[in-house]
Structure 1
Amino acid sequence: MLAYRHRPPNEEESSIARNSKQLLAQYARENESLTVHVTDQEGTIELPAGAVSLLMDILGAMASGQGITLIPENAELTTVQAAEVLNVSRPFLIKLLEEGKIPYRKVGKHRRILMEDVMNYKHAIDEERESILDQLVADAQEQNMGYEK
């Protein structure tokens, strides 16, 4: 499995990332590739739109002091890895698997979960949370509880 993990950056790396993101943001356009000129090597690099967007996200995370883990969507994760991605306990993840909320397969006695399925579940849960919060705000506004429209 191709995976890359970078621990949280030190202060200097965070500062460089912050500056780099600000500079890159001046040139990056949504859904457009970007050609970068490398002055030290007298060459250019063509970055596809998806890579530019990903690079902006990586620099943003590093600028705020967060570590980064990149895992391809088609990668198979162990239950420990999937639990880490979802930020839940392994027993809670296993409960989700057994309830059929996330597909998995067994390799011997071990469960394997596709990264894509983990992210689909995370996206669905995030959407559900957002919907519930929107409903709570609407209810509070309707009952004049200090929230204005």
Structure 2
Amino acid sequence: MTTKVQTGGCQCGAVRYSARLENDEAYWCHCRMCQRATGGVAAALLGIPRANVEWTTREPDRFASSPIAKRGYCSNCGTPLTFEFNDGSDNMDLTIGSLDDPSAVRLTSHFGAESWVPGWIPHDGLPETRTEDSVHIMARWDKARA
């Protein structure tokens, strides 16, 4: 996929962005934090370099959802917009539902498979990763606990 610009934002329009997508690969995150942050059984997310996102109205408000990450959202309407690690990672995630054209991306994998809620999202044969099998996330948790 060539770089493609997608726009998105919150339900009320107070927070808008433009994002340069280098690929169209998105994923479901089934972890408990994503379930609680979205109020759903999983969060549909797109990993993207921070440098590829431009906030065109204002930046989202952010909530520290754990010792290792924060979530961007609109304080006017409550729309979940981002997942971002606290440690200055060059990458972040945008919520697929906040894209103006969610069909611009495709599902390629599942994360947080240990919290997958049976019966709501069928197993589709795509790669599944458990949180404890992600070395970089476990290292962040170990550092936060130290």
Q: Whose helix fraction is larger, Structure 1's or Structure 2's?
A: 1
Tell me which protein shows more strand as a share of its residues: 2
TM-score, normalised on structure 2? 0.22
Calculate the TM-score normalised by the size of structure 1.
Answer: 0.22
